[in-house]
Amino acid sequence: MANTSLLKLEGDPLITAASRRLDMPRRDFLQFCATLAATLGLPQGADAAVAEAVAGKKRPSVIWLHFQECTGCSESMLRAEHPTLERLILDVISLDYHETLFAAAGHQAEQARKTAMAANRGAYVLVVEGAIPTRDGGIYCKVGGQTAIELTRECAADAAAIIAIGSCASWGGMPSTDPNPTGSSGVAAVLGKPVVTIPGCPPNPYNFLSTVVHFLTFGSLPPVDDLGRPRFAYSRLIHENCERRAHFDAGRFAIEFGDEGHRRGYCLYKLGCKGPETYANCPTVLFGDAGAGTWPVGCGCPCIGCTEQGVGFAKPIHMLAKVRNIEPPQQYPRIVEDKGVGATLGSAALLAAVAGAAAGGAAMIARNLGLSHKAEEAERARLAREKEELRDGQ
């Protein structure tokens, strides 16, 4: 990481060669590298290191295994609409084994895997796509006569880094939905050690690419959370950066698909959007490089929480999310708050009447008590006088 200025790389022959190889203008290539560095949350100057690494370093050998899955993760990486990204992926990494992209078949393909593993022993990256069935000895998924468990363990033994791509490989994903007849599990569970996971169904290709580029540039995988997800991509709730968040805070919700609120782009929380309990960078990175609004919530589709174990494929789609930060209130404060009503004729009159009645009653009682006291005193005086007279008489 000698160079820390992207501008100084403008005339670098390596960069020129790389951009020619990728069939993209030199400026676009540098811009792409800067974007990757920014996505990873790397400090200033790291963009140059990324560009140098992408242009000059030997591409890491990648063994890509497929198990219980739909190949959606690979598809999202190789969308035909975006050839540049596809070229980039195939150029940044040396994809030595990928069951669905291979021209080779059968023993030839398996041989290619073994050769690549032997040649890059301890240096290749193992990518696992799809869940691994564990019930009945893992017989529900076999490739070349080997179960998924055996293949994973064999390939993981000498890998420099292991990446579980997609929700299936991360924790079991859709195949592990109850009752989970094949005992689908994630890579980490099968290997018994933590691996980097890029959950999503499909995950954002940039999150995978940025992870690989980090490995390429710095020789290590990026920092991850306790579920193995890279922090740069999965540290914030979708809810936090959602473009519809203002509607949530203001209490404007779509209640039914196609209703007035839905057409106006209100918050989808009450349609079951799982954004408030799902960690992913979807609202900031978006999908498909097609511009603003191109992600599920942006298109009016509630998030299903595909990156979050226990939410995606577990909670019903229409079910209300458990809001991780702030619960929406039942009622919202009024914009103009009443500052109170002073005395009205009725209330003042009632209070005065009660006070008057109390005062009148008290006066009556006091008078009666006074009169009886006076009478008693008079009686006492009379008795005393009589006693006096009696004594005088004696």
Closest by Cα among 359, 47, 100, 87 to 210: 47
Assess 348 for contact with other proteins (CB under 8 A): yes
- Three-class DSSP category at 65: strand
Residue placing its CB nearer to other proteins in the complex, 365 or 381: 365
Q: For other proteins, which residue of 27, 135, 263, 367 counts as binding (CB under 8 A)?
A: 367
Question: What CA–CA distance (Å, rounded) separates 46 from 61?
Answer: 23
26-39 helix and 13-22 helix, angle to the nearest 10 degrees: 90
Q: For other proteins, which residue of 114, 322, 372, 383 counts as binding (CB under 8 A)?
A: 372
Q: For other proteins, which residue of 344, 390, 392, 394 counts as binding (CB under 8 A)?
A: 344
Q: How far is the CB of 369 from other proteins (least distance, A)?
A: 4
Q: How far is the CB of 350 from other proteins (least distance, A)?
A: 5
Stretch that binds other proteins, among 77-85, 146-154, 270-278, 344-352 (CB under 8 A): 344-352
Q: How far is the CB of 281 from other proteins (least distance, A)?
A: 37
Q: For other proteins, which residue of 1, 17, 246, 354 counts as binding (CB under 8 A)?
A: 354
Assess 373 for contact with other proteins (CB under 8 A): yes
Contact 248, 269 (CB under 8 A): yes
Site for other proteins in 322-341 (CB under 8 A): 337-341
Assess 351 for contact with other proteins (CB under 8 A): yes
Backbone angles phi, psi at 68, to 5 degrees: -80, 95
Q: For other proteins, which residue of 362, 378, 383, 384 counts as binding (CB under 8 A)?
A: 362
> What character string, x for contact with other proteins (CB under 8 A) and - otherwise, covers 278-317?
----------------------------------------
Residues in contact with other proteins, counted by CB under 8 A, come to a total of 23
Q: For other proteins, which residue of 17, 101, 326, 369 counts as binding (CB under 8 A)?
A: 369
Question: What CA–CA distance (Å, rounded) separates 348 from 78?
Answer: 79
Residue placing its CB nearer to other proteins in the complex, 139 or 350: 350
Contact 196, 156 (CB under 8 A): no
Those residues whose C-beta lies under 8 Å from the C-beta of residue 152, and which sit 6 or more positions away, are 65, 67, 128, 132, 187, 190, 191
Does the CA dihedral 54-55-57-59 come out positive or negative? positive
- CB environment 300-339: b (16+ within 10 A), e (fewer): bebbbbbbbbebbbebeeeeebeeeeeeeeeeeeeeeeee
Assess 343 for contact with other proteins (CB under 8 A): yes
> What character string, x for contact with other proteins (CB under 8 A) and - otherwise, covers 20-49?
------------------------------
Q: CA angle at residue 105 from 102 to 111, to 5 degrees?
A: 90
Residues that bind other proteins (CB under 8 A): 337-344, 346-348, 350-351, 354, 362, 365-370, 372-373
